[in-house]
C-alpha cells in the first residue's frame, strides 16, 4: 500500500494535543497569526508538535480552530482548537511561508486495536477517583456500563489522559502509542501510582496545574 503524505502548517509548542481535546491558545507571533488566519479562512487544520528542551517531537496532532475567544487591538488572538488526527512528521519543507510547513503521514491505531473491557473498567475506575479529588466539576465515566462509550473524535484513553496528571513527556509517550489497550494499560500504571500521592495538598495542586485542556465546548 502506498503511503499518503500531506503538507501542513506547523505550530511547535510546549504542550501535547490529544485527538478530541479542546485546547486554549494565545497567538501573538506574527507568523502564527498568519497561520491561524489562513486556517480559519480555508477551514483547514494546522499541526501541533511538542517542542521540548530543543527537540521537536515527530508525532503530532492536527488542530482545527473551533472558536475565537478574544481578538486584541494589536492583532493578538485567544482561540480554542480541537485535536483531530495524529501524524508523523516526515520532513520540514523549504517554503516561502513565514511559518513552518511540514510533510506528514497520518499515524493511526493499528487495525487490530479492539478495546479490552477489563482494561477499560479498571482505568475508568482509577480515573474517576482522580477526577473526584482534583477536578470535581469534570465529566466522569459511568460504571458499571454495558458498552464502552463512543467519544466523538477521540477514544476513552485520550479523553481520560486530559485530566490524568500526566507530565509532558508522558503525554507525548501516550500520544505515540498505536493501540487503545496499550494506552489504557499505560494510564492504569500511572493512575495507580498517582492516587496515593493525592493525599497531600501539594500533589493535588501540582496535578491541577498540569491541566491545560477545556472540558468541553458547547
Q: What is the dihedral of CA 72, 79, 13, 192, to 10 degrees?
A: 140
SS3 label, residue 43: coil
Give me 137's grid cell: 466539576
Kindly give, in sequence order, each residue whose CB lies less than 8 Å from that of residue 160, ignoring residues fewer than 6 positions away. 123, 124, 127, 141, 187
Q: What's the CATH number of domain 5-106, 3.30.420.280, 2.30.130.40, 3.90.1750.10, 2.40.50.140?
A: 2.30.130.40
The mean per-residue pLDDT over the stretch 46-54 comes to: 95
Tell me the C-alpha distance between 168 and 162, whole Å.
11
SS3 label, residue 62: strand
The DSSP 8-state label assigned to residue 50 in this structure reads B
**Pair 18, 61: CB distance under 8 Å:** yes
Which of 159 and 214 is assigned the larger pLDDT?
159
pLDDT digits (tens, 9 = 90+) for 86-104: 999 999 987 788 999 999 9
SS3 label, residue 13: strand
The DSSP 8-state label assigned to residue 35 in this structure reads H
Extended strands (E) in 72-177: 77-92, 100-106
Tell me the C-alpha distance between 148 and 70, whole Å.
37
Q: Can you give the residue ranges of every domain in the chain?
A: 5-106, 117-210
Q: Are strands 22-27 and 77-92 parallel, antiparallel or unpaired?
A: antiparallel
pLDDT digits (tens, 9 = 90+) for 151-202: 666 889 999 999 899 999 999 999 999 999 999 999 999 999 998 888 776 6
Is residue 69 predicted with pLDDT exceeding 50?
yes
Amino acid at each position: 500500500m502506498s503511503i499518503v503524505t500531506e503538507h501542513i502548517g506547523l505550530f511547535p509548542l510546549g504542550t501535547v494535543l490529544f485527538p478530541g481535546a479542546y485546547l486554549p491558545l494565545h497567538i501573538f507571533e506574527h507568523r502564527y497569526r498568519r497561520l491561524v488566519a489562513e486556517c480559519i479562512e480555508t477551514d483547514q487544520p494546522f499541526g501541533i508538535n511538542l517542542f521540548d528542551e530543543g527537540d521537536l517531537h515527530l508525532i503530532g496532532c492536527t488542530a482545527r480552530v473551533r472558536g475565537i475567544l478574544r481578538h486584541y487591538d494589536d492583532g493578538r488572538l485567544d482561540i480554542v482548537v480541537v485535536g483531530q488526527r495524529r501524524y508523523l512528521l516526515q520532513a520540514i519543507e523549504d517554503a516561502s511561508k513565514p511559518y513552518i510547513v511540514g510533510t506528514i503521514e497520518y499515524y493511526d491505531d493499528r487495525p487490530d486495536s479492539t478495546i479490552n473491557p477489563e482494561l477499560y473498567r479498571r482505568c475508568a475506575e482509577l480515573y474517576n477517583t482522580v477526577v473526584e479529588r482534583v477536578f470535581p466539576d469534570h465529566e466522569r465515566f459511568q460504571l458499571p456500563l454495558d458498552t464502552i462509550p463512543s467519544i466523538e473524535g477521540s477514544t476513552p484513553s485520550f479523553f481520560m489522559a486530559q485530566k490524568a496528571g500526566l507530565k509532558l513527556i508522558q503525554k507525548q509517550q501516550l500520544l505515540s502509542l498505536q493501540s487503545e489497550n496499550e494506552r489504557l494499560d499505560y494510564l492504569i500504571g500511572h493512575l495507580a501510582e498517582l492516587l496515593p500521592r493525592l493525599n497531600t495538598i501539594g500533589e493535588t495542586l501540582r496535578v491541577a496545574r498540569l491541566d491545560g485542556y477545556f472540558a468541553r465546548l458547547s
